[in-house]
Amino acid sequence: MDTGAAPIEIFPTAMWTLAGRLGGYRWIETELFGLMGNWVTVTDEPAVRVMLSAQSLHHGWHADVWLDRFPELRGLNPQEMCVAPSSEWQELLSEAARLTSTVQRLSVLYEQLLPRVIADYEDFAESCDEVAAPGLVRWIQHVLLDDHADLADGRALIALLRD
């Protein structure tokens, strides 16, 4: 029975929402890449420099992963979607950039920032629609493998530095 009403376009709306979320993730990962890379140049402890350098590259790769996962939508410019997901994220990363001691930096990174990223990715994986975004959960799991390993390594290093 034809009611004459236009069909509701839920799928495109969901794809734009997905693009916004992935853009926020790309922004966070790009910021972490830069933040940690900058810390490498001003950190005295060789073990910390090595760890930050390696983990910074993980975040650079994650940023690329999210960009590559953007849905293909007419009128969508992925670079325009890569913005801070919230003012809170902007403030957290700005505050982290102003820290000067190695222990403070690592504490913020491994006790606040990375756990938040991990929690958000885990929530996203649970709510992700495999039909609308095939393979996305698999990529989230790849990113989470890095993040969990980096978190464990970072927390271990903090414990050594605090002793």
Going along the chain from its start, the domains and CATH numbers come out as: 20-162 (1.20.1260)
pTM higher than 0.85: yes
Which tens digits make up the pLDDT trace of 73-132?
676 777 877 889 999 999 999 999 999 999 999 999 999 999 999 999 999 998 887 665
Under DSSP, the state recorded for 53 is H
DSSP alpha helix (H) spans, 43-135: 46-68, 78-81, 87-98, 102-108, 114-127
pLDDT at 10 over 70: no
pLDDT at 53 over 50: yes
Under DSSP, the state recorded for 7 is P
The answer to whether 112 and 92 are in contact (CB under 8 A) is yes
- Those residues whose C-beta lies under 8 Å from the C-beta of residue 50, and which sit 6 or more positions away, are none
Residue whose C-alpha is closest to residue 157's, from 57, 36, 32: 36
